[in-house]
Structures are given as structure tokens and as C-alpha cells.
Chain A
Amino acid sequence: MSVNKKLTVSASPHVRSPHTATGIMLDVIISLIPALIAAVVIFGYKVLMVTIVCVGSAVLSEYLSRKVMKRHQTIGDLSAVVTGLILAFNLPVSIPLWIAALGSIIAIVVVKQMFDGIGQNFVNPALAARIILLVSFPSAMSNWAADSKFITTTATPLAILKGEEAAEAMPSMVQMLLGTHGGSLGEVCSVALILGGVYLVIRKVISPAIPLSYIGTVAVFMLFAGKFDFAFVAYQILGGGLLLGAIFMATDYTTSPVSFKGKIIFGIGCGLITSAIRIFGSYPEGVSFSIILMNILVPHIERLTTAKPFGTPKRDRKAEKAAKKAEKEAAKV
């Protein structure tokens, strides 16, 4: 048989869906834009400076790490841009720019590339970087002062709620939704974050399983902790980094379970830890720590929740027990 040298021979399937990793990351970036615009409106143009520094140093770190490690270049997949954006969202607007840059470098070089890049890191890079910054620069990371006509208070709602800033007045519900209160630059505008989340769900980039189980768990927990004070529950959900964390960080592909069951367990776990830290801990916030802790548990959750191959008979525990009993009795005789 003659072989036509010009024909391409490859394994099936010969058609591929149009989705690419870059496209998915682009969708995530688009979903973050409403919150970014809100942050610029609320906190002023300094927000753009922080964002540009974070994104720029993240992409540069990724580029240089790949170069030094002599691996194929991956900045084209835009995941470093997403990491930079999310890190920026987790910083107060007053942050010195060099700290912001340092955060990006930690996120990309230490947390992501040292574990072989995209898909391999075991905790969320932006979150790990945020925690490292938080414990290294506690005052810079919680300086909520902002040069803004919208911000009248320098305390975050959760800090006020916790009684750390008892003198301050709580922002109104409308303020909570629009984000005109103290906090990290990307976490304040609840409406924009929810909008981004809805976009991601519609585009099927994320499943709503993690955000809903996470936020749902916090809501139920706070309902009991606040003795059925619904305003308290609303402040807990809209305040702090819960929405940002539940929608954009807990849903990170690399560091969350693949199966539906696993996602629900992961979400509930995040919710319980967040609530416990907020109620019993010394921090008013608990989102970052809870997601990181659950990130570490992901391999175990995966092992417990991996679906059995199609048609695998269900384990009949009753029959197993009966068989064991019979065996024991037989051994006695």
C-alpha cells in the first residue's frame, strides 16, 4: 500500500471543542472587571496602580521562572494575570507598591512555579501570598485608610461587628452591597462580585457547587451564632472576603476537588472553618485561612469522592456484615 506522505494521521477524536485554557482564564479576567471598576470608583485611581503592579510583577515572575527553569513559556495562558488580579483584590488600597510586587513574586515563584507551574500547586498562589504578607506586614495589610469621598470609616464592617472598633458605626445594607466601606480593594463591592460569579457560572467556567455550599454553610452557622439575627447573617456574608473567596478563590481548578460531591464537601469545610475563625478566633476574617486549609485536604477529599467506574455494583454493606458474621460463627464452631 502506498503511503500518501501529505496525509495527517493522528489518534481520534479528530474534532476538538473550541475551549482553551487561555479562553477560560480570559473569562475569569472578564468576570473580575466589574469588581475592578467598582474598586476604582470607590477607592480612586490608586487601585489601578496596585493592580498593574501586581499583574505586571506576576507575569514577569512567571516569565523569568520558566526561563530560568528552561521550561516552555506559559505566560500566554493568562493564569499569571488572574493570580495578579486576585492578589491585588486582596490588598488594601493603601498598600506600599513594593509589598504588592513582593506578594506577586511569592505567589508565582514560590507557590506556583516551584511546584511545576499551572495545575500543580497545592494551595492557591494568591491566597498563600496574601497570608504571607499578612503575617509579615500586619499593619500595612490592615491599614484601611483611603483617600475617597465614599469611605467615612477606616474600619472593616467585620472588625466593627467583632467589637474591635466599637466606636465606629456599622455601614448600611446599601453600603454593604455597593461596597462603600473599608476593606480590601476587590472584596468590598458585593454586587460586582456576584455579577462576576453569575458570568462564570453562565459561561460554565465554574460550577456553583463550591460558592453556594460555602456561603450557605456560613449563613447557617451565623444564623445560629447570631441567634437568628438576619442582619448579622447579611453582614457576615457581604462583609469581608467571603464573596471574593467563595466565588473566585475557592473555585480555583488546581486547588479544589473535581467531583460534585468533593466540591460540596470542600465548600462546607471552607464555610465551617471561616465561621469558626470569625466567631471564636482573634481575627475578624477567616476566608483566606479556611480556603488554604481546605486546599491542603483536597487530595484526601478527591480520594474519598472519586466516582466508581460506570456500572460498578454498589457495595452491599449489609451483605458484607452478614458474611463476616457467618465467617466468625463458622470459626467458633
Chain B
Amino acid sequence: MKGYSASGVLSAVVKGRGGVSVSHSKNTQDCKITRMPPPEKVVLPMQQHIGAPCEPVVKVGDQVKVGQLIADTDKFVSAPIHSSVSGTVTAISEVKLANGSVSKAVTIESDGEMAVFEGFEPPKIENAQDLIKAARASGLVGLGGAGFPAHVKLALMPNENIDTLIVNAAECEPYITVDYRECMENSANVIKGVVTLKKYLGFKKVVIAVEDNKPQAIDLLKKQINDIAGGDKDINIMALKSKYPQGAEKVMIQSVTGRKVPPGKLPSDVGCVLMNVASVAFIQRYIETGKPLVSRSVTVDGSAIHTPKNVRVPIGTSIHDIVEFCGGFKAEPFKIISGGPMMGAAIVGTDIPLLKQNNAILAFAEGTFKIKPERDCIRCGRCAQVCPMSLMPTLIARYAKSKEADKLTESGVMVCMECGSCAYVCPAGLPLVQHMRLAKSVIREAGAKK
């Protein structure tokens, strides 16, 4: 197995290449997660995330309870969906999602009881296969935002080529504080989850990576490692420099292990599995209770929100209902973002449902963010300096406009994760992320023609 590369870590730290210092705006970091009362109805889209959509296993008129399976599929890259309220299935219809795509969805009208399904019990875990099966049954997907079905990653284990589990608690996006709250409020579950994963899946080392702007979380987790894991030397907390996008998969792997994931490869190719900290804590809860993923924490913040909060919300609740629980809008919202301000998506209305992987709802009044007028590129090179993937965004933008597929392929734009660092720093206010997306589509089109 490839060792940890000290020089790799060193080069990441010393060169300081890539990334930007954005304002943290962690306004809600001291807001305890509050549980939201059941909404009148929830809408559960069958396509929650990357992968195959589920098929409903309930029909209109069925009575369901919290945690009852309502949709599943036999496809591998997918996760089952469970009812997040108790009540009646009132519709199975097509709905539009935040990204504009259309998905079949199950609408459940809540009876306000939140009666829990009687059928589930804690899974018996004796080996890796049991744990992977349990992860799938729980409906867990990456809670950090990417929403990749968790069992797919875990199914790589046990594997002698993979030695490290990295628990991602960096939370480098501004405003979002749910992972921090998870560390502060459920630290025991986090560490217990780490111990369970390490024990059954055979990771040699676990690193919990936190940005150094969260010293309290670091101290608390350290204490819990001592108390719960008996000071296991192979479970470590690592404080990473607070620099966006520290939490991005490839950036984090380099910061923690010094290894670089080559273009087109996966973390497992360099011996790593990454999991979000809330996902790890959830697995532990599932193993203890057998209650599947029916709710999640979201940060509700922004200049247009009356009372910013961290809220535990039944999945499928509409953005409208969540904002109402936070006192509604105190100013006319100018832009509403699902996710963080760097990578989140601006949404067109508030009646879309919360998905499993949505970690924040941010609503901003007009004038909160200054809009830079778009000017000509002055070739200052700041975009290339901050690109964590060592790309040349301004050059790629030029090739994208002239649709030069060969030059674009050579430029490596396919490794771009659209973190937005380039557009953030651009003094000319160029929409570089859009240019990167255009560049990728030019390559795909050229590939399709061949």
C-alpha cells in the first residue's frame, strides 16, 4: 500500500496553492439544532440524488408511518426512500426539482401524529457485509451535499488497497454549520460510528478532518476519542487550514494523506474512502435503533431570513414550510440558494421539497452581495492561482467560446469540480464556472460525434 506522502502534505501546506479565503459567515454556529413540527405534507421525489431513481412501493390512499419504506429499486447505485411523516399517500405524480429536472414523487399528507413504523429493529452487525447491507437499508446518502449512496462506497471494503477512512467535517462553505452542530451535539455518535466502521470494514486508519476555525469541535472530538475509543492511536483528528474548498474530496485527500487522486480516478484508487461526519453519526444511530433516514439537519440563514436556525427537518418538507418555521422572510428574498453560496444552486421558487443531501437553505435580500459588472479579462492570473485543480480557467474559457474540443481535453477541464474559486476571485467579474460547464459540454459533444 502507498504510504502517506509527507512531501505531498507539505507541498499542499507550503505552496498554499489553490483555494480562496472566503468570509466564514458561520452566524448559526451556536444555534442548537431544533426539531421542526411535522409539516402538513411532504413530497418525496424518487430521484433524490446521483444514481438510479426509485419506484414507489405504496399507492395512493395507503396509510404510512414514519420510517416505512415507500420506494426502492434493485439498481445498485441508489438508496431506498422512507416516509418522513405518518399519514396518507395522496398523490404519486411528476414534480419539478430544483435543478429543473422532472421526477416522479410520492406526496404524503401528514396526520400530525408522527407515529413511528413498528416494523423496524436494530440490524444485527457481525461482519462487513451486514454493515454494508444495513447502510443500504437505512437509505443513507452522503449528507454533506453530494448525495452519493453511502453503501456503494462502503461496498469497496474490506479491501487491502484501501487503508484510510477520512471523515469530512471541514464544512468549508460559508454559512453552513450543520456538520459543526453534529460534532458538538452528537460527538459520541460520531466517534462510535467511526469505531464501528473501522472495526467491521477494516480501515487501518481513520482521520476526522475539521477546519481549524472550529477549535471547540476539535477539542470535543479529541476528548471523545479518549473516552469512547479508548484513545485508539489510529483514530485521529486533523485540523486543516480554513481555506475554501478544503472539504472538496480531492483537496481533502491531499491535505490529509499527501496523495493526489489522478484525473478520472476515485479516492479508492489512492486508498481512501471519504464520508461526511453527519453520515457517520447517522450510521451509528441506525445500527442502534434501526430507524432509517427520514429527517436531516439544515442551516437556514441569510439576510432575508427572520430567525436563522439549524433545523432538523423531515425530508420532503417544502422550502416554504422550513422558512416559515424560521419566522418567514423579513425582507423580500432576492435569491434563494439550496446549499452554500459557493456551490449551491439558486432556486426558482419555495415550493420544492428538501432532498436527503440538502444541507442549507440560504435566502438573501437584494444588495447583500455586490454584483460585479462583467468586464474584459485582464489576464491577472488570479483564477489559475486559486484553482485547486491547477487549471487555467481563463484559457479554458477562451477555448470553450471557440469550441476547440481538442485543446479543451488537453486543458484538463474535466477534473474541474466547479468549486467556484476562480469566479470568486476574478476581478473582471467573469462567470468562469459557467465557462467551465460550457467547456465540459463542448468536450462531451465532440465525444458524442466521434
Chain A residues within 8 Å of B, Cβ to Cβ: 1-4, 6-21, 23-24, 74, 77, 79, 117-120, 253-254, 258-259, 306-313
- Return the contact of B349 from the options A4, A15, A117, A258 (Cβ within 8 A): A4
- Residue B114 CB within 8 A of the other chain: no
**Which residues of the other chain, A, contact B433 by a CB distance below 8 angstroms?**
11-13
* B412 (CB) vs chain A CBs: closest residue: A309
| A contact residues around B96 at 8 Å (CB) | 1
Known: A21-B375, A24-B427. A14 touches B335 (CB 8 A): yes
Chain A to chain B contacts (Cβ below 8 Å), 11 pairs: A3-B349, A4-B348, A6-B332, A8-B335, A12-B341, A15-B23, A15-B424, A16-B371, A119-B378, A309-B389, A310-B260
Tell me if A253 and B423 are in contact (CB < 8 A). Answer: no
Q: Which residues of A contact B370 (CB under 8 A)?
A: 16, 18
- B residues in contact with A307, CB < 8 Å: 384, 390, 392
Are the CB atoms of A258 and B375 closer together than 8 Å? no
Q: How big is chain B's contact interface, by range?
A: 35 or more
In the complex, A127 Cα to B275 Cα: how many Å? 55
A12, A21, A310: the one contacting B427 at CB < 8 Å is A21
Quote the shortest CB–CB distance from A198 to chain B (angstroms): 19
A125 to chain B, nearest CB (A): 13
Q: Could you say which residues of chain B place their CB within 8 Å of the CB of A12?
A: 341-346, 418, 420, 423, 433
Hey, which chain A residues are within 8 Å of B337, CB to CB?
14
Name the B residues within 8 Å of A309 (CB-CB): 263, 389-391, 411-412, 415
Selected from B346, B372, B428, the residue in CB contact (under 8 A) with A10 is B346
Contact of A13 among B336, B412, B420 (CB under 8 A): B420
Q: Among residues 272 to 292 in chain B, which have CB atoms less than 8 Å away from a CB atom of chain A? A: none
Q: Which of A2, A13, A20 is close to B342, meaning CB atoms less than 8 Å apart?
A: A13
* Chain A residues whose CB sits within 8 angstroms of the CB of B349 once the complex forms: 1-4, 7
B298 contacts A by Cβ under 8 Å: no
Which chain A residues lie closer than 8 Å to B348 at the CB level? 1, 3-4, 7, 9
Residues of B within 8 A of A21 (CB): 375-376, 378, 380, 427-428
Q: A15-B174, A308-B390, A310-B250 are in contact. Are A1 and B423 (CB under 8 A)?
A: no
Q: Considering the chains assembled together, what is the distance between the CA atoms of A306 and B392 in angstroms?
A: 8
Shortest Cβ distance from residue B394 to the other chain A in the assembled complex, whole angstroms: 8
- Closest Cβ of chain A to B253, distance in Å, is 10
B133 beta carbon closer than 8 Å to chain A: no
Whole-angstrom CA separation of A17 from B369 in the bound complex = 10
B334 within 8 A of A: yes
12 additional contacts, CB 8 Å, given A14-B364, A307-B390?
A: A3-B349, A8-B346, A10-B431, A11-B431, A15-B22, A15-B369, A17-B20, A20-B427, A24-B427, A119-B376, A258-B381, A308-B390
CB distance A17 to B425 under 8 Å?
Answer: yes
**DSSP majority for the A interface?**
loop
Residues of A within 8 A of B382 (CB): 19
Q: B379 touching A16 by the CB < 8 A rule? A: no
Least Cβ–Cβ distance between B437 and chain A, in angstroms: 8
Residue B335 contacts which of A2, A7, A20, A24 (CB distance < 8 angstroms)? A7
Bound CA span A311–B263, Å: 6
User: Which residue among A20, A21, A309 has the maximum number of chain B CB atoms within 10 Å of its CB?
Assistant: A309
Taking a contact as CB atoms under 8 Å apart, the answer to whether A19 and B427 are in contact is: yes
For residue A313, which residue of chain B has the nearest CB?
B262
Asked whether B155 is an interface residue with its Cβ less than 8 Å from the other chain, the reply is no
B418 proximity list for chain A (CB < 8 A): 12
Q: Given B95, B262, B378, B427, which contacts A254 in the complex, CB threshold below 8 Å?
A: B378
Closest to A16 in B: B372
Asked if B347 CB lies within 8 Å of chain A CBs, one says yes
3 closest Cβ contacts across the A-B interface? Answer: A309-B412, A13-B420, A258-B381
Which residues does chain A contribute within 8 Å of B262, judged by CB atoms? 311-313
**Contacting residues, chain B, for A259 (C-beta < 8 A):** 381, 384
| Complex interface: chain A residues within 8 A of B261 (CB) | 310-311
Name the B residues within 8 Å of A79 (CB-CB).
Answer: 378
Q: How far is the CB of B423 from chain A (nearest CB, A)?
A: 5
In the complex, whether B123 has a CB less than 8 A from a CB of chain A is: no
Measured CB to CB, the closest approach of chain B to A201, in angstroms, equals: 14
**Contact partners of B428 in chain A: CB under 8 A:** 20-21
User: In the complex the two chains form, what is the Cα distance from A298 to B381 in whole Å?
Assistant: 14
Q: Which residues of B contact A10 (CB under 8 A)?
A: 335, 346, 431
Given contacts A1-B352, A2-B349, is CB(A310)–CB(B415) below 8 Å? yes
| Closest partner residue, chain B, to A2 (CB atom) | B349
Cα A254 to Cα B380 with chains together (Å) = 7
Contact of A119 among B371, B379, B412, B429 (CB under 8 A): B379
Partner of B346, one of A7, A19, A254: A7
B369 near A77: Cβ-Cβ < 8 Å: no
Q: A9, B380: Cβ atoms under 8 Å?
A: no
B434 within 8 A of partner (CB): yes
Choice from B350, B384, B392, B429 contacting A4 with Cβ under 8 Å: B350
Contact indicator B265/A253 (Cβ below 8 Å): no
Once the chains bind, are A258 and B263 in contact (CB under 8 Å)? Answer: no
A259–B369 Cα distance when bound, in Å, is: 30
Identify which of residues 337-373 in chain B touch chain A, using a CB-to-CB cut-off of 8 Å.
337, 341-352, 364, 369-372
Expressed in whole angstroms, the Cα–Cα distance for A11 and B234 within the complex equals: 41
CB–CB B392/A14 < 8 A: no
Which residues does chain A contribute within 8 Å of B341, judged by CB atoms?
12-15
B378–A253 touching, CB < 8 Å: yes
